Amino acid sequence: MNEATEAATTAQAAAAARPSITAGRRALIVAGTILLRLLMWTWRIERRNMEQTTTARRAGHPVILAFWHGKMLGAMSAHRHSGIRVLVSEHKDGEVIARILEANGVRTIRGSTSRGGARALLQLVAAVKQGHTIAITPDGPRGPRHSVAPGLFAAAQRGGAPIVPMAVAASRVWQLGSWDGFEIPKPFARVVVQYGDPVEVPEGATREVDVSTARYVDALAAAQHAADAAARA
């Protein structure tokens, strides 16, 4: 079985295996979908330094967008109905998040580095090879906060796509007390999405991955600093 066929098979299995939703969670999904749609409608999205990413995607060259888990709402609000696939974990909370995102125009791939990781990696690599841009939170789904899981670089190496650090900052947010400091931009907030310069991940030795990891962390920190400054301006 080749990689594309195996990815298609695992994608079908993942879809078939999606857990049933209780009435309470179904109500939460409906309410969350409506509230998120209303919030997104009020946000003022500002995208900065995205020229390289836009040019690559228009030329049919996919990239891997990588941002911290706590910034997911702002990040995804800038990419609704764009065809991007975002990795969302398979745990019960992840199912709720995935269905809310899907109802708001964001496609999902299910899995994580801790559960469903091999299956998710196959789907991520297949999506990249088919020309789709994907989005990953390298510290999700359980942290530690702002840690970088190896799945991000495995997907980049096997898919042959660069990693684009993506930072998000909002002028006004609610911040939850969760492990990731999850942020919900307030109504009418200015949401700045800052794209860093692409980080290439060469195939080969672990040392190359270590170098790419350091470059990614530094590039994301610089992008976050710029996003924070722009959101405060």
pLDDT at 3: 46
SS3 annotation, the chain: CCHHHHHHHHHHHHHHCCCCCCHHHHHHHHHHHHHHHHHHHHCEEEEECCHHHHHHHHCCCCCEEECCHHHHHHHHHCCCCCCCEEEECCCHHHHHHHHHHHHCCCEEEECCCCCCHHHHHHHHHHHHHCCCCEEECCCCCCCCCCCCCCHHHHHHHHHCCCEEEEEEEECCEEECCCCCCCEEECCCCEEEEEECCCECCCCCCHHHHHHHHHHHHHHHHHHHHHHHHHHHC
pLDDT at 112: 66
pLDDT at 191: 98
pLDDT at 205: 60
Could you say which residues of the chain have pLDDT below 50? Answer: 1-16
Residues 92-145: tens digit of each pLDDT: 778 888 999 999 999 998 876 555 567 788 889 999 999 999 999 999 888 899
pLDDT at 121: 86
